[in-house]
Chain A
Amino acid sequence: MEAKYRLATFAWSSVANVTTQADINREIDQLRGSGGPQPRLDYPPYRSSVLRHPTRDRQLVDPEGVELWAPCFGAADVDDAEADLTIQRAGEPLGERMVVTGRITDGDGRPVRDQLVEIWQANASGRYWHQRDQHPAPLDPNFVGAGRCLTGADGVYSFQTIKPGAYPWRNHVNAWRPAHIHFSLFGTDFTQRLVTQMYFPGDPLFDLDPIYQSITDPKAREMLVASYDHELTTPEYRLGYRWDIVLSGTHRTPLEEQ
């Protein structure tokens, strides 16, 4: 009861738009560990979630028909060049060139092969190629920030890009997002669909960010943080990050597979 009352009070202070980082930190602290390994849909520190989360429990159902299968993508959909975000425009983008690669597996450890991966991100200054982004940081005419690829037979994806910058948003006063790359993923059945964000190791903004903290289990949160991998770093060219992704389990039996 006490926690509920206090959250209601915080919601009022947001109406007056005077919510500070300290207020948000207190709310984040109160909700620590309160959810499972998936993000809480009802997470008031992320203000935009207040009117957009379902209040009823999700209905558990056995998947059937199309839900047991995922849409197929292939060479007709994705050009190899789309995996390199640094060659989309006439010139070289500014910022720290990097590669991010990893293996996508399903909840049973099997590689997710020949499947679509999409990413989008801010440029090195923390600015998106998007009308709605009013952050007074420069756009880079040589960096759009969207890419696609297909995984290989081993479930491995790879993108060459520029390390994105942190950026401000208006959740509360002086709110900043840790640097991240948005990832959209498909598995081998529709129930594995995942859109998430990849973060960079050691970001000082982690503790302050209500989107990252909407996953209240620290072990689960850490699954979204890539690791720096010197083996992937290329001399005098680019830094390497590794980020492996585990999707949820499949429901289709091996028999249906054939």
Chain B
Amino acid sequence: MTFAPGQTVGPFFHLGLPFEGGNLLVPTAHPDAVRLHGRVFDGEGAGVPDSVIEIWQADPSGRVPRGTGSFHRDGFTFTGWGRAQTDGDGHYWFSTLIPGVTEPGRRPFIAVTVFARGLTDRLFTRAYLPGDEPEALLDGLEPGRRDTLIATREERGLLFDIHLQGEGETVFLSYPRQAR
């Protein structure tokens, strides 16, 4: 069965997609809040100012959140989902929690979806926590490519840049049931 094709979010997505508190999976004052942030770059290394990033992640215990309320966050329910748009520098940021591991022996990651004007379809990637555990996807990539999927730990969080094209191009993912 064939499925509906995607289309670009275009230049006017600010009207429909971003919402107040979209990037605050937890309040910044939460004792365990970390900042996950980075810049989205085009093929010439310029920041992409009209991009939307969505993240979806487990909670610190590795549980997949099933709670509602992302649009009107109550400050207590961790819904695991957030949406942020890039600013004029192509920078995005989220206030969130460090995800736990969902399956024993795997490396925790945050699922990331990228949309932008000029991008004809959404892109999927993963922001892995840095670590030593073996990981099939990472171990199968050459080192330069692998590093694009691993967030850098910072004092107050994680840095995860996204390169749409060219030097250091991020590894983007497809899944079996999307095979052409």
Contacts and interface: CB of A to CB of B under 8 A. Distances in A.
B3 A52 contact: no
Contacts of A74: 68-69
B12 A54 contact: no
A29 B117 CA distance: 23
B111 to A, nearest CB: 5
Given A49-B118, A182-B13, A61 B175 contact: yes
A54 B81 contact: no
B6 A38 contact: yes
Nearest to B110: A66
A251 interface: yes
A184 B177 CA distance: 20
Interface stretch (A13-21, A87-95, A193-201): A193-201
A238 B37 CA distance: 45
B122 A51 contact: no
Given A36-B180, A145-B15, A223-B4, A53 B71 contact: no
Instruction: Tell me the interface secondary structure of chain A in the complex.
Output: loop
Interface stretch (A1-9, A213-221, A228-236): A213-221
B169 A54 contact: yes
Interface in B38-97: 42-44, 46, 48, 54, 56-58, 64-72, 74, 79-81
Interface size bracket, A side = 35 or more
B113 interface: yes
A157 interface: no
A39 B6 contact: yes
Nearest to A67: B111
A133 interface: yes
B30 interface: no
Nearest to A243: B4
Contacts of A100: none
Given A55-B169, A194-B122, A249 B4 contact: no
Contacts of A72: 65-68, 79
Interface string B158-180: 00000011100111111111111
B4 A245 contact: yes
B9 interface: yes
Contacts of B58: 65-66
B169 to A, nearest CB: 6
A141 interface: no
Given A51-B118, A54-B165, A247-B4, A62 B176 contact: yes
Contact of B176 (A36, A37, A251): A251
Contact of A65 (B109, B176, B179): B109
Interface of B: 1-17, 42-44, 46, 48, 54, 56-58, 64-72, 74, 79-81, 99, 102-103, 106, 109, 111, 113, 115-124, 137, 141, 145, 164-166, 169-180
7 contacts: A39-B6, A49-B118, A53-B118, A60-B176, A77-B68, A182-B13, A196-B4
Interface of A: 36-41, 43, 46, 48-56, 58-78, 107-109, 118-120, 122, 128-130, 132-133, 144-146, 169, 182, 184, 190-191, 193-197, 211-212, 214-215, 219-221, 223-224, 245-251
Given A53-B120, A132-B14, 6 more contacts: A39-B7, A59-B172, A76-B68, A120-B12, A214-B120, A220-B5
